[in-house]
């Protein structure tokens, strides 16, 4: 028997009420959107457009080249490149959907525009500890991905409306957030959703190739540098990688090039916690990614030590100190939690 939490009926009926007549709608993914953030926002935008709404996706900033094949991505408005038209859209919106994040801090300066807007805000998300900025909320931390939540939602509202484009968007986010259907969040319901999305026209092989077999030569060289920088914390099942701006520059770094590097640490026998620290000179900070296997909560770790958060086994954070100091702070933090590893 597969148990699967039903979507709350009051959420569905409140949403249906809001969507009865054509509305002006903005759909927002988190900053540095990944496959799940873009897949869910684009699929939801396409569904809304099909239902006669005036819907647009507004991304806080640009996204990696390996997502630039996605259906309808040419309609995305990027805030950092179109500030005044984005401001207008948000001011005029009747409804704002925020997808794949649960705190307005995850969309930088867009956050205050959203907070000040008169629009009804709807959050659809699977991260832990949601903030309470939205009037309507569909939050389920057990879901594999926001795309699986949007699949459930569209399936409930009108299962016959899943076009090949919507199916491809949703397949993409489920695939990327589940590590190609292998993380523990992957359930029988996830596979059933995927099976249906294939029936609706998603081409799994093509999507996989677009995302994972589209690396540049430089990106693979950068992976080589990252792997040669791999360090282990003595006596603990923990590894970390540092990448400096200089190293990124030496491989002509482009947005998205380091996606997935942190997972290599977890491929080591016995390792259950992996971290990557990536310098961003422009923003004056170090972006940190954390991944774990089993009981250790990187969500808690990121929140406690590095101003971040995310999921139990995948989270992010940041540091504004130098790389050397960040590594020292990471080691100190690990020392404080080390009894969780025995
Ligand atoms: P990544 O390491 O791939 O950037 O992020 C891993 C997971 O943690 C993603 O689900 C992402 O949305 C979330 N995440 C990344 N950075 C942050 C952060 O600074 N704050 C919070 N709350 N979540 C984050
Ligand atoms: Mn997600």
pLDDT confidence band for 2 (50 / 70 / 90): very low
Write the class of the CATH domain 217-341.
alpha beta
* Spacing, Cα 308 to ligand 1 middle (Å): 7
Is the CB of residue 258 below 6 angstroms from any atom belonging to ligand 1?
no
Q: Cα separation of 2 and 8, whole Å? A: 18
Q: Quick one: CA torsion of 116, 121, 126, 130, rounded to 10 degrees?
A: 50
Query: What is residue 342's predicted lDDT score, i.e. its pLDDT?
Result: 78
Using only the alpha carbons of the chain, give its radius of gyration.
20
Average pLDDT (59-88) is 97
* Structure tokens given for 258: 């380091």
Rounded to the nearest 5°, which phi and psi values hold at 248? -60, -45
Which of 265, 257, 275, 282 lies closest to 327, judged by CA?
Answer: 275
Is residue 30 within 6 Å of ligand 1 at its C-beta?
A: yes
Global pTM reads: 0.95
| Domain ranges within the chain, ordered by starting residue | 9-212, 217-341
pLDDT value, residue 4:
45
Indicate if the pLDDT at residue 1 is higher than 50: no
Please choose from 141, 265, 315 the residue to mutate so as to test ligand 1's pocket, defined by most ligand atoms within 8 A of CB.
315
The per-residue pLDDT for range 158-214, each reduced to its tens digit, is 999 999 999 999 999 999 999 999 999 999 999 999 999 999 999 999 999 999 999
Domain 9-212 shares a fold with domain 217-341: no
Indicate the average pLDDT of the chain: 96
Pick the CATH number of 9-212 from 1.10.10.10, 3.40.109.10, 3.30.70.340, 3.90.1640.10: 3.90.1640.10
Give the C-alpha separation, 274 to 179, whole Å. Answer: 15
Instruction: Note the pLDDT tens digit of each residue in 113-151.
Output: 999 999 999 999 999 999 999 999 999 999 999 999 999
Is 72 a residue whose pLDDT tops 60?
A: yes
Q: What angle (nearest 5°) sits at the alpha carbon of residue 62, between those of residues 92 and 88?
A: 15
- For residue 5, pLDDT over 90 is answered with no
Ligand 2 centre and the CA of 175: distance in Å?
10
- The whole-number pLDDT of residue 6 equals 60
At residue 3, does pLDDT exceed 90? Answer: no
Residue 40 buriedness (CB in 10 A; 0-12 / 13-18 / 19+): buried
Condensed to tens digits (0 to 9), the pLDDT of residues 201-211 reads 999 999 999 99
- pLDDT greater than 70 at residue 296: yes
Question: Hey, whose CA ends up nearest to atom 2 of ligand 1?
Answer: 289
Closest ligand 1 atom, CA of 34? 3
Contact 184, 313 (CB under 8 A): yes
The reported pLDDT for the residue numbered 8 is 79
Residue 18 — pLDDT band, cuts 50, 70, 90? very high
Report the pLDDT averaged over residues 329-340.
98
| Residue whose C-alpha is closest to residue 110's, from 33, 28, 55, 45 | 28
Q: How far apart are CA 231 and CA 241, in angstroms?
A: 6
Q: Is 129 left (phi over 0), alpha (psi -120 to 50) or beta?
A: left
Which pLDDT does position 318 carry in this prediction? 98
Distance, CA of 103 to CA of 8 (rounded, Å): 21
């Amino acid at each position: 028997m597969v148990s699967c939490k039903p979507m709350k009926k009051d959420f569905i009926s409140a949403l249906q009420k809001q969507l009865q007549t054509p509305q002006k709608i903005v759909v927002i993914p988190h900053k540095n959107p990944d496959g799940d953030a873009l897949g869910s926002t684009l699929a939801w935008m396409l569904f809304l457009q099909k239902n006669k709404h005036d819907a647009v996706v507004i991304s806080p900033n640009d996204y990696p080249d390996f997502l630039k094949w996605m259906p309808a991505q040419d309609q995305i408005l990027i805030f950092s490149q179109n500030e005044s038209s984005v401001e207008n859209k948000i001011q005029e919106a009747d409804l704002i959907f925020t997808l794949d994040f649960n705190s307005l801090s995850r969309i930088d300066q867009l956050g205050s525009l959203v907070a000040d807007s008169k629009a009804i805000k709807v959050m659809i998300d699977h991260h832990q500890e949601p903030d309470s900025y939205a009037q309507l909320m569909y939050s389920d931390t057990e879901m594999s991905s926001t795309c699986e939540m949007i699949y459930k939602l569209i399936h409930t509202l009108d299962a016959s409306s899943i076009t090949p484009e919507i199916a491809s968007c949703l397949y993409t986010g489920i695939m990327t957030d589940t590590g190609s259907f292998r993380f523990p969040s992957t359930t029988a319901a996830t596979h059933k959703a995927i099976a249906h999305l294939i029936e609706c026209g998603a081409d799994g092989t093509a999507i996989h190739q677009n995302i994972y077999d589209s690396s540049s030569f430089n990106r693979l060289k950068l992976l080589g540098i990252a792997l040669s920088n791999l360090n282990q914390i003595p006596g603990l099942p923990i590894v970390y990688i540092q990448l400096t701006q200089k190293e990124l520059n030496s491989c002509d770094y482009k947005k998205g090039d380091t996606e997935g590097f942190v997972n290599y640490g977890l491929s080591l026998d016995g390792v259950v916690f992996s971290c990557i620290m990536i310098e961003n000179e422009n923003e004056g900070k170090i972006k940190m990614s954390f991944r774990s296997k089993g009981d250790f909560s990187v969500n808690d770790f990121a929140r406690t030590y590095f101003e971040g958060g995310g999921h139990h086994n995948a989270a992010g954070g940041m540091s504004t100190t130098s790389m050397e100091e960040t590594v020292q702070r990471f080691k100190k933090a690990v020392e404080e939690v080390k009894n969780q590893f025995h």
